[in-house]
Structure 1
Amino acid sequence: MIYVLIIQNSKHYPKGSANKFLFFRLRHTHISVLLYKGVSIQFISERADHKDIETTLKYYSQVLKEMRIEKEEKSVRIMTSMHE
């Protein structure tokens, strides 16, 4: 899997290199997409090689907040449509 290869090779990038920056952008995008697709936080935390779920929650709290807002708005739309 390409993601695994990227993770394994990320340790070889020189500090501050453009490649290392690109790696972390790709990694963040990958994890954000998994969150939006409803993949469990436990799986994502393990895949990201975070030491615990709290680390994942800390780094991706903005994504999780956006998802919560979207779900709240969706529930309001559903409830509103039931009363029409």
Structure 2
Amino acid sequence: MKRPTPSADDHYILDSLGWVYYRLGKLDKAAEYLRRAYNQQPDPEIAAHLGEVLWKQGKRGEAVQTWETALAAFPDNEVLISTNRKFKR
């Protein structure tokens, strides 16, 4: 069985691109890609990444809300838990 080729609009690819922009210090571009990814698929790891970018942009209330919403749906996700602890504590 052939696996489908991911498209440029795939939420995992958008998340990865957003994270690359974050690592390059391009926070606005990072947030743009991560929001697109999260809107497509409210995945807990995407929420962790988006929250981290929002936090670094000074949008702390939005970051906390993103993490809390994701934690309500995915309370056992380790990436989300550790990211939440890293920035909220």
TM-score w.r.t. length of structure 2: 0.33
Identify which of structures 1 and 2 has the higher relative contact order when contacts are C-alpha pairs closer than 8 Å and 6+ apart: 2
The structure with the larger Rg is 1
